[in-house]
Amino acid sequence: MDAAQEAQKREAFRQAVVNTLERRLFYIPSFKIYRGVAGLYDYGPPGCAVKANVLAFWRQHFVREESMLEIDCPCVTPEIVLKASGHVEKFTDLMVKDEKTGTCYRADHLLKDYCKDKLEKDPNLSAEKAAELKHVLAVLDDLSPEELGAKIKGYGITAPDTKNALSDPYPFNLMFQTSIGPSGLSSGYMRPETAQGIFVNFKDLYYFNGNKLPFAAAQIGQAFRNEVLYAVILIDLLHEFVHLSIRGLALILLSALLHMPDNLLKKSSLQYSRSLPRQGLLRVREFTLAEIEHFVDPEDKSHPKFSEVSKLEFFMFPREDQVSGRQARRIQIGEAVSQGIVNNETLGYFIGRVYLFLTQLGIDKDRLRFRQHLANEMAHYAADCWDAEIECSYGWIECVGIADRSAYDLRAHTAMGEKEAMELKATLEANGEAEFHVCTLDKDVTIKKNMVSISKEKRKEHQRVFTPSVIEPSFGIGRIIYCLYEHSFYTRASKDGDEQLNVFRFPPLVAPIKCTVFPLVQNQQYEEVAKKIAKSLTAVGISYKIDITGTSIGKRYARTDELGVPFAITVDSTSSVTVRERDSKHQIRVNVEEVASLVKEVTDSTTTWADVQWKYPTHSS
Amino acid sequence: MDAAQEAQKREAFRQAVVNTLERRLFYIPSFKIYRGVAGLYDYGPPGCAVKANVLAFWRQHFVREESMLEIDCPCVTPEIVLKASGHVEKFTDLMVKDEKTGTCYRADHLLKDYCKDKLEKDPNLSAEKAAELKHVLAVLDDLSPEELGAKIKGYGITAPDTKNALSDPYPFNLMFQTSIGPSGLSSGYMRPETAQGIFVNFKDLYYFNGNKLPFAAAQIGQAFRNEVLYAVILIDLLHEFVHLSIRGLALILLSALLHMPDNLLKKSSLQYSRSLPRQGLLRVREFTLAEIEHFVDPEDKSHPKFSEVSKLEFFMFPREDQVSGRQARRIQIGEAVSQGIVNNETLGYFIGRVYLFLTQLGIDKDRLRFRQHLANEMAHYAADCWDAEIECSYGWIECVGIADRSAYDLRAHTAMGEKEAMELKATLEANGEAEFHVCTLDKDVTIKKNMVSISKEKRKEHQRVFTPSVIEPSFGIGRIIYCLYEHSFYTRASKDGDEQLNVFRFPPLVAPIKCTVFPLVQNQQYEEVAKKIAKSLTAVGISYKIDITGTSIGKRYARTDELGVPFAITVDSTSSVTVRERDSKHQIRVNVEEVASLVKEVTDSTTTWADVQWKYPTHSS
């Protein structure tokens, strides 16, 4: 299969997954009855359940296992905090504008697309030119606005939609800006990450931990980035422009037979119209982050539990291997630390824990690698950084970043330094009072000399003095979930071979519903047994769905396979029932009284389906 | 005790609760190292755990019990959605500005404070004047901007801080505004409630439910309101202006000896400085909402499970009783529905379920009432509305609203009506093409005639045609949690009688940590037993905290009582241990092997402490 066929196959696979996800409401493009907003998605009922399961497991696997201090901070953040952290100045993308229509594009994306396109499709490209374009791709992230602008002009790159000329690149801050309070004077942003909320509370958390290091704090929450997205619209949304009510008598049908201009949508089929903007569900404007800040003595980054993960072996892609053009290779994390490939034990410990987290969720270990940041990718203050990358139809996607950020973040937040305090003291002594700006009031308050005392104390301390280092594992929950969908999806022929049926092979841990209850035929006796089983499932805490429609049992299985429900209980007698496992389709007979506790055991993985099959009689359908 | 003494007592109680909450990091004023932002709070580790427990119970009690469709929508919302819902036009407060300093105040708050103050403190007030002021208080919510302005001018009300003159009242929209995408042309807001995300998805959710009514959808998430807060600053934050790092050698001490001007802070003590803005933790700018939208046939609002709650009796405060000056009284919810006090069974069912939810969390049933909205409080489209109000030191606080909103919300969101669609059709037929505005692109797209087909179909349907009604229970999670803190807090004398110790009597369901493990003295044997117990607690899923400091056992008990930890295991031998219950302080002896499962049983309430006491020998300390 050549590259083009590969790409087509990947595209077809993605379409199948995304169509299933949208049809079964795992995702819904947000506000689609109003024609949608690019980069915003709702989690529908099954997606919402999957997300809750992933977050519950994250809490158990990280927060509880390590006794982390979990906190929960607001999204609205005053400007002063994000100035200190560097986000106001540096959290920008370089953009160019279509000089006639004003449409905006990411400058680096246009240049990248140009280079890739030339390299892939231009048969007359000279070796020299090819080398140049490859070099541009390699240094893309390091180009200054001027260099980027010069390349765009030099290659004659124009706006993709209109072929109009483009403006010079200019920085666009990716934070959503807003204003706090009624005066309009107090500027704020929606946080672009949750970490800053932890850093500004470091002192209190350190105290809460008995003034001892190391300790970790954690936060799960929404973050916001006003991404510059390719202007591809979800054109199928036109279908939604019908009356929302079910009054129905004068139903307006507005169906879109889509023949959009080529430069907007390259295909004209309805199916293609379902496609999503560049990296669709992976590049969004609001998303859930789960972040850990592990504070540690910079001179002792050993970890007491490192031995618990040190034997784990998985794909790693060290910096040296990337630079010298080698492939990712399987390395034991213990080896990686002892050889100095990974900077320290604590970083290695978290890499190991992240590997366990992702694979237990159902991420395929052969499409997961830990890639070390190159020198030019890494922030200047970072000691080492590894991304957990997952391969999906979009390529290798960064889903978790695990960085040793040294002491940068804590040093950034020093609300009033020695200098400022001493100046305040001097003013108070000279004038008897001083102006003191209070953000909350949007105004200066006059402080009199007798209100405060400021002193500088020299303390002799017996302990060594240092600023803690921070190891930060940061999880993009939405990206992990999307990759999990792709890794879990497969199709298989229906019984009669007429159609391909979709299945998500979610582990019970992740599955939105753990089991279904189907009365085989519609009769009162069976429905009562079903209700009895439902009650006992609730009692043991297993989520379920009853389907009492008269639809054929095969169709009901197919419907729930598509939601990734691992077990189905079919009520086909009043004393015993059939339990079917989703992927093997094996069926066993179990007593009505036993079935709930059996499903609980296989769901909690205290027993395996293989054991269960051995213990109970097989049902031959 | 007279009213002033009562008020003082309430204030002292609140200070004790809030001091404990802040000292133990249940709450942290957000960004306090940067002098804070009024109306924003972090949940510290124990608060975050309490919140997670409350939300988990909400999911179990409502979402799972009723098989609701839970969804999760973004906070960033395009303007068009909030225009349709009426928020852009109507979600406003009337404000007045200090004409010299520009400080803003809620106009109704100033008028309310003036009236209350006069009524309480002016001994020379004539009966006629008193009646007038009482009337103003009664109609406060109905006053137009002009009427409000006239009253403020008429009574000579000035800015509380400066006594400067005030501007005329003007509307201030309470939504945080922002801009979506790089062009700056697409206006958006941070959602002020989560409900709209459900309404715009009604059609999909209805389809997901097999096109059947009734069904309910639910959402938990952040909401944002740019409240106009009284400008009282958290002056104790000055204490925080020390270096954040623990380098420590040149420590800056900036202690605030607070003698603030009377009009800013009425007391000069440090303790008072810890007080919070008006209604402190209850009136915040970002908060977690949990909302249910139950869609139902407007002509059949019966509920199949109503009989399960109909015998519940609790305090209700019907409209008639409020108007005629009577008190809230205990009514059976079944009676309330059959007498027509509550509009319908579905509304009554949710009132009953909310009662069970709140009391199971630990809200005192004698300080909980369901108050019916007066005619002037209720939106014009609502059929009936009841607030679950909880009494705390701030008075009766609305924590849950349970409204029958009839068909308003679904009718509001009709993306393209018949008229608009027919106009588009006419334009296409006349010109062969038409402009079509796409929000996402910030521009008009030209649609050609052959791209779409628009038709109007008359369908004969056998079913009756209607727009569903919506019953909406909406929970302010932060307010419920704050009231829960007040209802759970008490103090008791220490053993030696020297000091008052703080206790939170959280039920295990809510408690941030379920149990503590204390080796009685520091020795290796005991610590190993403690670790063994810890492991078995993890195995049964019970959260715990080990405290191996050599602190006296009494102090360790006091510390965890203050966090509301219900059970403590003291390791005082290698074979059996002491288990202590927090409120009774009763202690029993249990074998090391049994203790984890015992704690699980009392935590899950599958057995009671009374039963446990009867079964195991008492430990006499």
Give the tens place of pLDDT for each residue, A16-69.
999 999 999 999 888 887 767 778 899 999 999 999 999 999 999 999 888 899
Are residues B411 and A206, on separate chains, in Cβ contact within 8 Å?
no
Q: Please report, for chain A, how many H helices and E strands are present, in that order.
A: 20, 28
How big is chain A, counted in residues?
A: 621
Q: What is the DSSP letter of B165?
A: -
pLDDT at residue number B241? 33
Integer-rounded Cα Rg, in Å, for chain B is 29
CA B202 to CA B198: how far, in whole Å? 6
Please name the residues between 459 and 478 in chain B that touch chain A, using a CB distance below 8 Å: 459, 461, 465-468
Place of tokens 């072996």: A313
* Whole-number Å distance between alpha carbons of B418 and A242: 8
> Is residue B27 within 8 Å of residue B43, measured between CB atoms?
yes
Cα distance between residue A34 and residue B180, in whole Å: 15
Please judge whether B201 and A28 are an interchain contact, meaning their C-beta atoms are less than 8 angstroms apart.
yes
State the sign of the Cα–Cα–Cα–Cα dihedral B23, B28, B34, B37: negative
| Sheet containing B544-546, strands listed edge to edge, beginning at the edge strand earlier in sequence | B544-546, B515-519, B567-571, B576-581, B587-591
Chain A partners within 8 Å of B64 (Cβ): 538, 543
Place of tokens 């009671």: B608
B residues 8..47 contacting A (CB < 8 A): 25, 28, 30-38, 40-45, 47
Exposed e or buried b for every residue in B321-356, given b needs 16+ CB within 10 A?
Answer: beeeeeebeebbbbebbeeebbbbbbbbbbbbbbbe
Residues of chain A contacting residue B41, judged by C-beta atoms under 8 Å apart: 74
| Complex prediction ipTM | 0.84
| Buried b or exposed e, range A390-413, using 16+ CB within 10 angstroms | bbbbbebbebbbbbbbbbbbbbbb
Contact B334, B303 (CB under 8 A): no
Give the pLDDT score at B49.
96
CB proximity under 8 Å: A 376-415 to B: 407, 410-411, 413-415
CB distance A160 to A96 below 8 Å: no
Q: Which residues of chain A have pLDDT under 50?
A: 231-277, 415, 439-442, 459-461
Rounded to 5°, the CA angle A400-A402-A405 comes to 140
Cβ of A252 within 8 Å of Cβ of B467? The answer is: no
Residue B120: the pLDDT is 86
Interface test with B, best of A252, A538, A562 (most B CBs within 10 A): A252
Is residue A605 within 8 Å of A510, Cβ to Cβ? no
Cβ contacts of A52 on chain B, cutoff 8 Å: 59, 70
B249/A76 touch (CB, cutoff 8 Å), yes or no: no
Q: Is B158 helix (H, G, I), strand (E, B) or coil?
A: coil
Token pair belonging to A462: 């017996």
Give the closest-approach CA distance of A111 to chain B in angstroms: 19
Distance from CA of B509 to the nearest CA of A (A): 15
Nearest Cα residue to B285 out of B195, B174, B185: B174
Peptide bond preceding A214: is omega within 30 degrees of 0, i.e. cis?
yes
Using a CB-CB cut-off of 8 Å, the residues of chain B touching A67 are: 545
Interchain pair A421, B38: CB under 8 A: no
Flag whether residue B483 sits within 8 Å of chain A, measured between CB atoms. no
Tell how strand B286-296 and strand B92-97 pair up. unpaired
The tokens for B168 are 């005329």
Which among A35, A200, A224 has CB closest to B439?
Answer: A35
Nearest CA distance, B129 vs chain A (angstrom): 33
What residues 544-563 of chain B have any CB closer than 8 A to a CB of chain A? Answer: 545, 549
Give the nearest partner residue to B35 out of A45, A439, A450, using CB atoms: A439
Q: What is the mean pLDDT of each run of 10 residues along chain B (621 residues)?
A: 84 93 92 78 95 95 92 93 87 88 86 90 88 87 88 92 90 90 84 92 90 94 84 34 30 29 30 41 90 93 96 96 92 97 96 98 98 82 90 94 84 63 74 64 61 58 70 96 97 89 97 95 91 90 87 92 96 94 95 95 91 88 58
Inter-axis angle of helices B477-488 and B45-58, to 10 degrees?
110
* pLDDT for residue A275: 32
Nearest to B27 by CA among B246, A416, B36: B36
Looking at residue B185, its pLDDT comes to 74
CA A552 to chain centre: 38
| Closest chain A C-alpha to B28 CA, distance in angstroms | 8
Positive or negative CA dihedral for A273, A93, B77, A56?
positive
Chain A: residue nearest B462 by CA? A249
Residue B197, chain A, CB below 8 Å: the answer is yes
Q: What share of chain B is helix, strand, coil (3-state, %, to 5)?
A: 35, 25, 35
Nearest to A70 among B48, B210, B467 (CB): B48
According to the model, what pLDDT value does residue B156 have? 92
- Pairing mode of beta strands A215-224, A69-70: parallel
Tell me the DSSP string of A81-105: HHHHTTHHHH-EEEEEEBTTT--EE
Distance from CA of B112 to the nearest CA of A (A): 20
For A459, the closest of B42, B180, B251 (CB atoms) is: B251
* Predicted pLDDT at B488: 98
- The pLDDT of residue A235 is 33
- The secondary structure element, H or E, covering residue B503 is strand B500-504
- Which sign, positive or negative, has the C-alpha torsion A280, A284, A288, A293? positive
- Sign of the torsion formed by the C-alpha atoms of A474, A41, A20 and B409: positive
Q: Which residues of A touch B251 (CB under 8 A)?
A: 456-457, 459
In angstroms, what separates the C-alpha of A527 from chain B's closest C-alpha? Answer: 17
Give dist(CA B427, CA B425) in Å, integer.
5
Mutate which of B26, B76, B305 to disrupt the A interface (most A C-beta within 10 Å)? B76
> Is B265's Cβ below 8 Å from some Cβ in A?
no
Q: Which residues of B touch A206 (CB under 8 A)?
A: 246
What residues in A contact B197, CB-CB < 8 Å?
A: 30, 42
Cross-chain Cβ contact A233/B42 below 8 Å: no
Q: Tell which A residues from 560 to 619 touch B, by Cβ distance under 8 Å.
A: none
Query: How far apart (Å, rounded) are the C-alpha atoms in residues B124 and B130?
Result: 10
Tokens of A200: 């500004």
C-beta atoms of B42 and A201 within 8 A: yes
Instruction: Residue B448: list chain A partners with CB under 8 A.
Output: 259
Chain centroid offset of residue A395 CA:
15
Name the residue among B407, B439, B434 with its Cα closest to residue B420: B434
Cross-chain residue pair A177–B172, CB shorter than 8 Å: no
Measured CA to CA in angstroms, residue A551 lies from A313, A522, A543, A559, A578 at distances of: 47, 9, 22, 11, 17
User: pTM of the entire structure?
Assistant: 0.86
Interchain contact B271–A (C-beta under 8 A): no
- Smallest Cβ distance to A413: which of B33, B42, B414? B33
Chain A CB within 8 Å of residue B338 CB: no
Dihedral sign for Cα atoms in the order A205, A208, A214, A218: negative
**DSSP code, position B508:** T
CB contact under 8 A, A246 and B466: yes
What whole-number distance in Å separates Cα of residue B38 and Cα of residue B285? 8
Residue B145, C-beta contacts closer than 8 angstroms, at least 6 positions apart? B94, B107, B168, B169, B170, B171
Residue B321's H or E segment, with its range, is helix B319-323
Beta bridge partners of B42: B28
Taking an 8 Å cut-off on Cβ atoms, the answer to whether A255 and B178 are in contact is no
Structural Rg of chain A based on CA atoms: 29
Q: Is B243 on the interface with A (CB under 8 A)?
A: yes
Contact B148, B136 (CB under 8 A): no
CB contact under 8 A, B241 and A415: yes
Under 8 Å between Cβ of B391 and B404: no
DSSP class per residue in B234-295: -GGGGGG-S-SSS--TEEEEEEE-----TTT-S--SHHHHT--STTGGGS-SEEEEEEEEEE
The minimal CB distance from B178 to the residues A71, A72, A176 is found for A176
Please indicate if any CB of chain A lies within 8 Å of the CB of B55.
no
Q: Are B454 and A246 in contact (CB under 8 A)?
A: no
* CB of A76 closer than 8 Å to CB of B286: yes
Query: Inter-chain contact B41–A74, Cβ cutoff 8 Å?
Result: yes
Q: What is the pLDDT of residue B463?
A: 54
Mutate to test the interface with B, among A170, A230, A254, A287 (most CBs of B within 10 A): A254
> Cβ contact (<8 Å) for B448 and A67?
no
CA atoms within 13 A on the CB side of B266: 4
Sign of CA dihedral B257, B263, B266, B272: negative
Q: Do strands B515-519 and B544-546 pair parallel, antiparallel, or not at all (unpaired)? A: parallel
Phi (first) and psi of residue B12, to 5 degrees: -65, -40
pLDDT for A539: 82
Q: For chain A, how are helix, strand and coil distributed in percent, rounded to 5?
A: 35, 25, 35
Length of chain B: 621
User: What are the φ and ψ backbone dihedral angles of B456, each rounded to 5 degrees?
Assistant: -115, 120
Query: Which candidate from A74, A247, A259 shows the least CB-CB separation from B450?
Result: A259
